[in-house]
Structure 1
């Protein structure tokens, strides 16, 4: 389980790694390639746009032909894209390369998360899935730290800084070779004996017994919008988009935002914020199986919203106040965002789990890409204060939606958390 969790977390680490460096090198890249504000936004959002398309495609193929083969193919594509960044000469080339890399990463969400959740024991499932978000933030932080050093200490070319993602991509690709197929997926395809053999070798006894609830069903993307699964689809999509939209908008351009608010060293301040984000994700990972999902998904979103409101209303009062509020937002936003790695894999059944995770991934990137693309223009046109208030309103929307739709799935078997069975199971758990 720890090995499988590690190699899937490797994909999340790489995703964070490629996104963490782009904001850091944006000034040098803008100067070298003579980028307009539009090209800055497009390149900043390119990987996110790729994830939008890659998530549903990866989920479709993961449900149709299996988790295992797609698990290797998508990372091979990403590895090639990483290496191609060393040779960029024009803005459109970088946009296309990072678009392709984003598609591979989007597919990895929809392949790796279902694979992990289908192997995980109920007592550890939340912690192992939340660890995926920790890995993402660590990748983002390390990319930022390495890029910060390379750009300030040795003045490395921005192509080299972006191309550094080739190193972790190659390592993770090699470690993934030999990963077993998901027993639940095999059983859903009628390959019961093969699935049970892998389950008895790799899964705990209670989870092996739970496989009796698996049925042979055809993948059908339309089920996500059927009466049985529609609420689950709405919840995971909106919860995810309301967490990541303000984060990506602020994190991608945090040096620029912090400097405009009076923080003298914007790069150092942004590096500090990324460290705080890792701490928040770790806190969520260690608390999730103790306090449950809802307590980590709803209150932190309200706290993050308040922090952004303070920034919006008092943007030019004191750099210290602004930095404290950004730290508060970063920590609590990371706590709730860690749940975006947990809920999508739990609330859908095996035959559409990949499709569900893929669609939620794609939907979340609409907001993330829009935030990344729009923020520099919003700051220029509306000012930092108004921009932060808009970000706060998105956090409020996510908190309200979570209050009404977020389920508590702590300790339940995967069969019990998957809609439409989840309603009865959750009612039973609440009665206890």
Structure 2
């Protein structure tokens, strides 16, 4: 133990840094800052909802310009996820995890800053750029945070911990809508409302100071002794032993630089196709239907009750995420991936072509929200497990970017499709996308429950 205490990573010699208590506290801290980051992501995407009309009047913009401001973070995610994924594989999880939150602080502060006499932002393009930067940071959070957490998390808890981050996103989105509505009703400047995310960002930036580098990334870069030391210090006995075993087999691969092209070589192509395709097919119908839930419900004849039904769908989705996250490490990945997709496919087809009683149609929509959101929970788990260390960040970032294409297309096209093709045809198109994801999962989805990351990545490389 004395050897470990003398390493540069030891910050508090009075603490037994090899104790299980110390390791549990570290894991709690890592999960907390990761969950906090996802709350911030949801908050940033949700906080603009209550003030859209205020922004429109204040900046004297049209609906298209307002739509671009609202969609700015989605464009940013598409840009930021693959770039930050590449950067985290090249320069490390630790520095990028901190720098990404620094970008959150900067972009959030700019929104606070512009509240002072409109000193900075006086037109919609500047606000769009700031929201775009926030999206870049959100994309980075996916591509950096999930690989980092997966590389530290115990195999027996990895699914539950990664799944909990999705639940945190929903929580952040909901509290943003609640807080934003209260502040807007109180007459608070919309710039301050948007900039309120600065408080969360600063707290998380401070909390991330001093976090260690991923031992698996260090092994991949040939820094074997440093990786082993950090593993012994911060990881439980089982995971630390796994790092020791990995260290013995890193002579051939250590120092290898991950590239975008590597996602499509024979070792990684199956993981790339599965993670990207699964995420695209899971998120496309969900974002479209969830975003325009009121429109969908109105088409089913709910009238003034559509808003209440939309809230119910959001609650059902949140419960679906919580349930799936709790069961991931008990039932396994495939059991919570494939059967639910078949169920959602049947539900969407019934909703598309059967004109049933209103209460039954709403029940099926609630069931769809519950089950489909559970499937979407797996999008936070699979990328971190199926890609090897050298491209885990790039792979997660690329899959995230593909999912944003689906989410953006679905959200953009659904209103047009309903108006021009009708609800039945629109939902049938959604069903086709769900079917594609289901067949892809049936063929490629691995069972990674309880397996080490080296075992899960090997599933796709042989």
- Give the structure-2-normalised TM-score: 0.84
Specify which of 434, 448, 453 is matched with residue 395 of structure 1.
434
Length, aligned pairs only: 421
Task: Please list, as runs of the form range in 1=range in 2, the aligned pairs for 1:145-224 lying within 5 A after superposition.
Answer: 145-150=178-183, 154=186, 158-211=190-243, 212-214=245-247, 215=250, 216-221=254-259, 222-224=261-263
**Secondary structure in 1 matching 2:458:** coil
Tell me which structure has the larger Cα radius of gyration: 2
1:308, CA displacement in angstroms? Answer: 2.8
8 Å contact 1:76–1:173 — kept in the other structure? yes
Specify which of 382, 403, 412 is matched with residue 364 of structure 1.
403
Equivalent position of 1:49 in the other structure: 75
Cα distance in 2 for partners of 1:260, 1:22 equals: 26
Cα distance in 1 for partners of 2:242, 2:295 equals: 51
Cα 1:334–1:7, aligned 2, differ >3 Å: closer, same or farther? same
Cα 1:365–1:129, aligned 2, differ >3 Å: closer, same or farther? same
Equivalent position of 1:130 in the other structure: 163
8 Å contact 1:144–1:271 — kept in the other structure? no
Equivalent position of 1:351 in the other structure: 390
Cα distance in 2 for partners of 1:383, 1:85 equals: 40
Cα distance in 1 for partners of 2:299, 2:62 equals: 20
Equivalent position of 2:362 in the other structure: 323
Cα distance in 2 for partners of 1:175, 1:35 equals: 38
**Secondary structure in 2 matching 1:219:** coil
Equivalent position of 2:420 in the other structure: 381
Cα distance in 2 for partners of 1:2, 1:11 equals: 14
8 Å contact 2:107–2:133 — kept in the other structure? yes
1:219, CA displacement in angstroms? Answer: 2.0
Task: Please list, as runs of the form range in 1=range in 2, the aligned pairs for 1:103-142 lying within 5 A after superposition.
Answer: 103-142=136-175
Cα distance in 1 for partners of 2:207, 2:99 equals: 13
8 Å contact 1:375–1:387 — kept in the other structure? yes
Please tell me whether residue 225 in structure 1 is matched to residue 293 in structure 2: no
Please tell me whether residue 342 in structure 1 is matched to residue 396 in structure 2: no
Cα distance in 1 for partners of 2:142, 2:366 equals: 27
**Secondary structure in 2 matching 1:418:** helix
Task: Please list, as runs of the form range in 1=range in 2, the aligned pairs for 1:226-265 lying within 5 A after superposition.
Answer: 226-261=265-300, 262-265=302-305
1:44, CA displacement in angstroms? Answer: 3.5
Cα distance in 2 for partners of 1:263, 1:169 equals: 40
1:354, CA displacement in angstroms? Answer: 0.9
**Secondary structure in 2 matching 1:419:** helix
Cα distance in 2 for partners of 1:42, 1:118 equals: 36
Specify which of 244, 263, 285 is matched with residue 325 of structure 2.
285
Q: Which runs of 5+ in 1 are unaligned?
A: 424-432
RMSD: 2.4
1:320, CA displacement in angstroms? Answer: 3.3
1:36, CA displacement in angstroms? Answer: 4.5
Q: Which runs of 5+ in 2 are unaligned?
A: 1-26, 115-120
Equivalent position of 2:126 in the other structure: 93
Task: Please list, as runs of the form range in 1=range in 2, the aligned pairs for 1:293-332 lying within 5 A after superposition.
Answer: 293-314=333-354, 319-332=358-371
Task: Please list, as runs of the form range in 1=range in 2, the aligned pairs for 1:1-40 lying within 5 A after superposition.
Answer: 1-30=27-56, 33=59, 35-40=61-66
Cα distance in 1 for partners of 2:426, 2:56 equals: 23
Moved more, 300-309 or 127-136: 300-309
8 Å contact 1:344–1:360 — kept in the other structure? yes
